[in-house]
Structure 1
Amino acid sequence: MFRFCFLLFLLLAPATLSELCNPQDKNVLLKIKKDLNNPYLLASWKSNTDCCDWYTVTCDSTTNRINSLTIFSGQLSAQIPTSVGDLPYLEKLEFRELSDLTGPIQPTIAKLTNLNFLRLKNTNISGPVPNFLAQLKKLTFLDLSFNDLTGTIPSALSQFPNLNALHLDGNKLTGPIPDSFGFFNKVPDLYLSHNQLSGKIPVSLGNLKLTVIDLSWNKLEGDASFLLGPSLTTQIIDVSRNLLQFDLSNVKFTNSLTSLDLSHNSIFGSLPAGLTALNLQYLNVSYNSLCGQIPVGGKLQSFTIYEYFHNKCLCGSPLPSC
């Protein structure tokens, strides 16, 4: 009789015996599902199954605590649930490709002190970029691109000690680039394009050993030549489609530069001969006020007329002869 009862118990409760997921984490995930209005995307999230096996969720192999939550490309109409802040072991949090995700960036995210990867991308979340994100000292990657975020960029974002990449592109951010961005402890790839940023680019950015800086499609003005200097390590620079105005004639370039887009500004002067020494894979200086002959050599003649045209009096191959 005892053997029969034991076998019956095994048949009725297999999930309980084999489940790895922490019960507290499981309850939080079920709350998140409810707050997201039980979307079909999370159909695998069932109370009678192991949450370490659920879609979009990852458990740590040692502690079995939830360390990753990635929700993307699904039909859901809600705000980011405040309960995401109750997953204390979370290292990666991602909400992306969710056009009906609205509301602000929840303050409870600041409780996730183990977070090193945060991506909230291609949604309709709105409101400001919050200062409290700077409390996440372990972040190495922050992507808030292509949302409806407004207001100015908080200077506190420069306080991340280990950030490798900062994406704020594709929002409705206004005001200047904070001068504090020239003082990152570890210099991230910087993506601020497709906003409404204005004013001058902080000269402090010229102190950074950047790899990528994209400031295109804004309303920035003044001089950007200090971003090109020979002591820098920048590989990709895009400051196109701004209101920049400076003389390019005597600018010295970093040898690390592989891609340079200065198009759609009011840059004047001539193209420096130093461009011929660079291993450029891409160059665009169109729609400016440049004059004189395009230097011969390097990669400069490998680009098409479209990378040079609509200047004041630029000439020479690949444009018509001077």
Structure 2
Amino acid sequence: MKPIFIMAIISLLIFLSLPTPSFSLSQPCNKDDEKVLFQIKKSLGNPYHLASWQKTLDCCHWYCLKCNKTTGRVIELTIFSGNISGQIPHEVGNLPYLQTLLFRKLTNLTGEIPSAITKLTQLTSLRLSWTNLSGPVPSFLSQLTNLDFLDLSFNDLTGSIPPELATLPKLSGLRLDRNKLTGVIPESFGMSTGNLQYLYLSHNQLTGDVPRSLGYLNFTWIDFSRNQLTGDLNMFFGANKTIQIADFSRNSFQFNLSEVEFPASLMYLDLNHKKIYGSLPLTLTGLSLQYLNVSYNRLCGKIPQGGDLQKFDNTSYFHNRCLCGSPLPACT
């Protein structure tokens, strides 16, 4: 189970993404934007979720929207958790000042990601998650050069990860987890021109070695769990790294753990169900760990004493070749 503090972070992110109406505006809603919004509403079948979208109310006061107070232009469209069917309307591309676009927890939203999104040149956050979107992860998203956060998680997307996404110059967070993606992690990601700190690729069908070039980046949160990935993970760690959360569980990684130098920033480490060997490094005792799991591997030797290592129960360590010492049985 994920630690409580991780769930708290996730809950906060979801809360911050909830749609809220905007008030106290100095400028009324732009009429061109209002016309486009009515087209979007019609394309979605005039759902009850958008019942506030009426001409009797300035559109900057509608649910799921936020406007710039000075210009009255729509800058956020956040449709969340409604009974909405259909596809993402291509008309969203006609909101030229949009900075945030979110379609989330809309299980009846289907089809592919429309190319019209590329017209949103000011977009900084694109979240299309927890829907039934299908098709590929479009390479044309690399045209959104102001994008800081891209979330396409919890969908039915297939195909490979487009290497072009690595060219996004401002990208700091990428979520492609919980899809049906195949192929390898593109080598280009290690040469990213942006500031990629958060990378979620878990629960896909990715294969091949993790590119060593990813070691050139300094991640804060990385999750490659539940794929079929291979190779070494040494490049993600080191005294100069600032990684805090690392989940590489349930893959086929094979390397010597005793040679890994973990940074002081590390709080969460999941390496269960792999083929790692060697012993647990003594440097683990100097970390403020909130979660640790190295079970189902080929580790040997005594579990180092001290730090937080003994606060975890035996399930964090069991099913290794010859690992011993508290909380496992004593070494003989």
CA–CA separation in structure 2 for the residues paired with 1:248 and 1:240: 14
Shift of 1:19: 8.2
Highest CA radius of gyration, 1 or 2? 1
Shift of 1:150: 0.5
8 Å Cα contact 2:27/2:71 also seen in 1: no
CA–CA separation in structure 1 for the residues paired with 2:135 and 2:96: 25
Structure 1 segments, 4+ long, off by >4 Å, are none
Residue from 121, 139, 149 that aligns with 1:113: 121
Unpaired runs of 5+ in structure 1?
1-17
Does residue 282 of structure 2 align to residue 268 of structure 1? Answer: no
Deviates more, 1:277-286 or 1:111-120: 277-286
CA–CA separation in structure 1 for the residues paired with 2:258 and 2:149: 37
Superposition map of 1:289-300 within 5 A: 289-300=298-309
CA–CA separation in structure 1 for the residues paired with 2:142 and 2:226: 26
2:198 aligns with 189
CA–CA separation in structure 1 for the residues paired with 2:211 and 2:143: 24
CA–CA separation in structure 2 for the residues paired with 1:205 and 1:231: 15
SS in structure 2 at match of 1:244: coil
CA–CA separation in structure 2 for the residues paired with 1:254 and 1:188: 16
1:157 aligns with 165
CA offsets per residue over residues 139-160 of structure 1, 9 Å max, x none? 1111111000110001111111
Superposition map of 1:42-191 within 5 A: 42-184=50-192, 185-191=194-200
8 Å Cα contact 1:76/1:101 also seen in 2: yes
Alignment RMSD (CA, Å): 1.3
CA offsets per residue over residues 257-276 of structure 1, 9 Å max, x none? 11111101111111111211
CA offsets per residue over residues 270-302 of structure 1, 9 Å max, x none? 111121122222111001111111011111111
1:241 aligns with 250
TM-score (norm 1): 0.92
Residue from 295, 311, 314 that aligns with 1:305: 314
CA–CA separation in structure 2 for the residues paired with 1:282 and 1:77: 39
Does residue 264 of structure 2 align to residue 255 of structure 1? Answer: yes
CA–CA separation in structure 1 for the residues paired with 2:31 and 2:89: 19
Does residue 207 of structure 2 align to residue 207 of structure 1? Answer: no
1:319 aligns with 328
8 Å Cα contact 2:99/2:124 also seen in 1: yes
SS in structure 2 at match of 1:84: helix
Shift of 1:108: 0.2
Shift of 1:231: 2.6
**One-letter identity of the residue aligned with 1:24:** D
Shift of 1:41: 0.3
8 Å Cα contact 1:145/1:169 also seen in 2: yes
Shift of 1:164: 2.1
**One-letter identity of the residue aligned with 1:152:** S
**One-letter identity of the residue aligned with 1:98:** L
CA–CA separation in structure 2 for the residues paired with 1:174 and 1:38: 36
Unpaired runs of 5+ in structure 2?
1-25
Deviates more, 1:272-281 or 1:296-305: 272-281
SS in structure 1 at match of 2:257: coil
**One-letter identity of the residue aligned with 1:258:** M
1:5 aligns with none
